[in-house]
Structure 1
Amino acid sequence: MKKMIPVEEGDFYLADNGYRVFTEQYHLKRGYCCESGCRHCPYGYNVKTNSQ
């Protein structure tokens, strides 16, 4: 089981459709790439090639 990372100010913003969009700050705190093609992924994951 992966550890829970507390969400703090600056970790996300709300998109126009109401979804939370996690920022690079949050991804770096989390410490790994989830390979979901996140908008602000600092790890360089590419959904089209399935590689970093």
Structure 2
Amino acid sequence: MKQPLVEKIDFYYNEQGYMVFTEKFHLDRGHCCGNGCRHCPYDFEKVPEPKRTLLLANRQRREEEK
């Protein structure tokens, strides 16, 4: 049986009110879903091109801004 999601561990709400899943949630799931999730630890492997390349570039830009 699946465990219930825990706020701020498995997900959080962003400024627009959307539920955003954390990297931990994705790792527990075990695979990329192909939706382009912000915290995907699988480098968006199932996201079709050209969206995948754009998502990877955006992630790189965010990392450089830190």
TM-score interval for Structure 1 and Structure 2 normalised by the shorter chain: 0.7 to 0.9
Structure 1 stretches of at least 4 aligned residues deviating more than 6 Å after TM superposition:
none
Gaps of 5+ in 2: 54-66
Using the TM superposition, name which of 11-20 and 42-51 deviates more.
42-51
When the two chains are superposed, the root-mean-square deviation of aligned CA atoms in Å is: 2.6
Higher helix share: 2
TM-score normalised over the length of structure 2: 0.59
TM-score normalised over the length of structure 1: 0.73
Structure with larger Rg: 2
Q: Which has the higher contact order (CA 8 A, sep 6+)?
A: 1
Identity between Structure 1 and Structure 2 (%): 51
Gaps of 5+ in 1: none
Aligned residue type for 2:17: G
